[in-house]
Amino acid sequence: MSDTVAHLVSVGHRYGDVTALEPTTLALPAGCMIGLIGPDGVGKSTLLSLLAGVRKIQTGTIRLFEGDLSQPSFRRQVCPRIAYMPQGLGRNLYMTLTVAENIDFFARLFDQDRRVRAARIDDLLHSTGLAPFRDRPAGKLSGGMKQKLGLCCALIHDPDLLILDEPTTGVDPLSRRQFWQLIERIRRQRPGMSVLVATAYMDEAMGFDWLVAMNAGQVLATGSPQQLLARTGALELDTAFVRLLPESEGKTHQPLQIPPLELNDQSIAIEAKGLTRRFGRFTAVDNVSFKIRRGEIFGFLGSNGCGKTTTMKMLTGLLEPSEGEALLFGQPLNARDLATRARVGFMSQAFSLYEELSVIQNLLLHARLFHLPPAHRESRVAQLLDQFSLTEYRDQLATALPLGIRQRLSLAVAIIHEPDILILDEPTSGVDPRARDDFWRELVRLSREQGVTIFISTHFMNEGARCDRISLMHAGQVLACDTPDALIRRQGRETLEEAFIDYLQAETQDTDTPPDTKPEADTRPEPATTAPNRLFSPRRLLAYSRRETLEILRDPIRTAFALLGSVILMLVLGYGLSFDVEDLTFAVLDHDRTPESRAYIDNIAGSRYFNRQADAVSEAELEQRMRSGKLAVALILPAGYGRALKLGQSPEAGVWIDGAMPFRGETIHGYLQGMHLQYLIQLATQLRVDISALQPAGFQARYRYNQDFRSLNAMVPAMIPILLIFIPSILMALGVVREKELGSITNLYASPVTRLEFLLGKQLPYILLSMISFIGLVLISVILFQVPLKGSFLLLTLATLLYVTATTGLGLCISAFTKTQVAALAGTAIITLLPAINFSGLTQPVTSLEGVAALVGNGYPTTWFLTISRGIFTKSLGLAELWPHLLMLAAFIPVLTLLSLVLLRQQER
Question: What are the pLDDT digits (tens) for 469-502?
Answer: 999 888 888 888 999 999 999 989 988 888 888 8
Is residue 257 domain-resident?
A: no
Among 693, 728, 753, give the residue marking a domain's end: 693
Q: Which helix (H) or strand (E) holds 42?
A: none
Question: What total number of domains does the chain contain?
Answer: 4
Question: Distance between CA 85 and CA 744 in Å, rounded?
Answer: 10
Query: Cα–Cα distances in Å, from 790 out to 709, 714, 786?
Result: 16, 13, 12
User: Is residue 517 very low, low, confident or very high in pLDDT (cuts 50, 70, 90)?
Assistant: very low
User: Is residue 391 very low, low, confident or very high in pLDDT (cuts 50, 70, 90)?
Assistant: confident
Beta sheet of 297-302, edge-to-edge order: 344-347, 421-425, 453-457, 297-302, 469-474, 477-482
Report pLDDT for 661: 67
Among 457, 491, 508, give the residue marking a domain's end: 508
Is residue 207 domain-resident?
A: yes
Do residues 650 and 610 share a domain?
A: yes
Question: Distance between CA 711 and CA 577 in Å, rounded?
Answer: 9
Is residue 258 domain-resident?
A: no
Question: pLDDT at residue 37 above 80?
Answer: yes
Do residues 634 and 659 share a domain?
A: yes
What's the pLDDT tens digit per position in 218-250?
Answer: 999 999 999 999 999 988 888 888 888 887 665
Report pLDDT for 609: 82
Closest CA to 800 of 845, 769, 846, 828: 769
Question: pLDDT at residue 522 above 60?
Answer: no
Among 466, 490, 508, give the residue marking a domain's end: 508
Query: Cα–Cα distances in Å, from 522 out to 189, 229, 898?
Result: 10, 38, 48
Q: Which residues of 467-478 are buried (b: 16+ CB within 10 A; e: fewer)?
A: bbbbbbbbbbbb
Report pLDDT for 701: 45
Do residues 201 and 329 share a domain?
A: no
Residues 6+ apart with CB under 8 A from 49: 55, 84, 86, 165, 908
User: Is residue 698 very low, low, confident or very high in pLDDT (cuts 50, 70, 90)?
Assistant: very low
Name which residue leads in pLDDT, 806 or 412. Answer: 806
Tell me the range of 301-305, 702-706, 856-860 where mean pLDDT is highest: 856-860
The CA angle 796-798-803, to the nearest 5 degrees, is 90
Question: pLDDT at residue 889 above 90?
Answer: yes
Tell me which amino acid residue 126 is: H
What is the end-to-end Cα distance of the chain in Å, rounded? 32
Report pLDDT for 256: 77
Do residues 23 and 129 share a domain?
A: yes
User: Is residue 509 very low, low, confident or very high in pLDDT (cuts 50, 70, 90)?
Assistant: low
What's the pLDDT tens digit per position in 47-60?
Answer: 999 999 999 999 99
Do residues 778 and 633 share a domain?
A: no
What is the share, in percent, of the chain residues with pLDDT greater than 90? 31
Query: Cα–Cα distances in Å, from 480 out to 25, 214, 463, 497, 779?
Result: 50, 39, 17, 14, 64
Report pLDDT for 882: 92
Is residue 628 domain-resident?
A: yes
Is residue 515 domain-resident?
A: no
The pLDDT mean for the chain works out to 84
Report pLDDT for 674: 80
Closest CA to 143 of 101, 117, 174: 174
Do residues 636 and 782 share a domain?
A: no
CATH of the domain at 454: 3.40.50.300
Do residues 867 and 744 share a domain?
A: yes
Question: Distance between CA 50 and CA 13 in Å, rounded?
Answer: 9
Report pLDDT for 430: 61
Name which residue leads in pLDDT, 578 or 338. Answer: 338
Mean pLDDT, range 352-364, rounded to an integer: 87
Report pLDDT for 549: 94
Report pLDDT for 728: 93
Q: Which helix (H) or strand (E) holds 749?
A: helix 746-749
Report pLDDT for 577: 59
Cα atoms found within 13 Å of the Cα of residue 279, Cβ hemisphere only: 6
Question: pLDDT at residue 742 above 90?
Answer: no
Question: pLDDT at residue 772 above 70?
Answer: yes
Do residues 600 and 725 share a domain?
A: no
Do residues 167 and 25 share a domain?
A: yes
What's the pLDDT tens digit per position in 127-158?
Answer: 788 888 899 899 888 777 888 898 889 888 88
Do residues 736 and 801 share a domain?
A: yes
Question: pLDDT at residue 792 above 90?
Answer: yes
Question: pLDDT at residue 427 above 50?
Answer: yes
Do residues 753 and 656 share a domain?
A: no
Do residues 105 and 233 share a domain?
A: yes
- Domain, as residue range, for 824: 538-574+710-903
Is residue 861 domain-resident?
A: yes
CATH of the domain at 673: 3.40.1710.10
Evaluate whether 442 touches 211 at the Cβ level (below 8 Å).
Answer: no
Is residue 533 domain-resident?
A: no
Mean pLDDT, range 305-331, rounded to an integer: 85
Report pLDDT for 578: 57
Is residue 350 domain-resident?
A: no
Report pLDDT for 1: 46
User: Is residue 697 very low, low, confident or very high in pLDDT (cuts 50, 70, 90)?
Assistant: very low
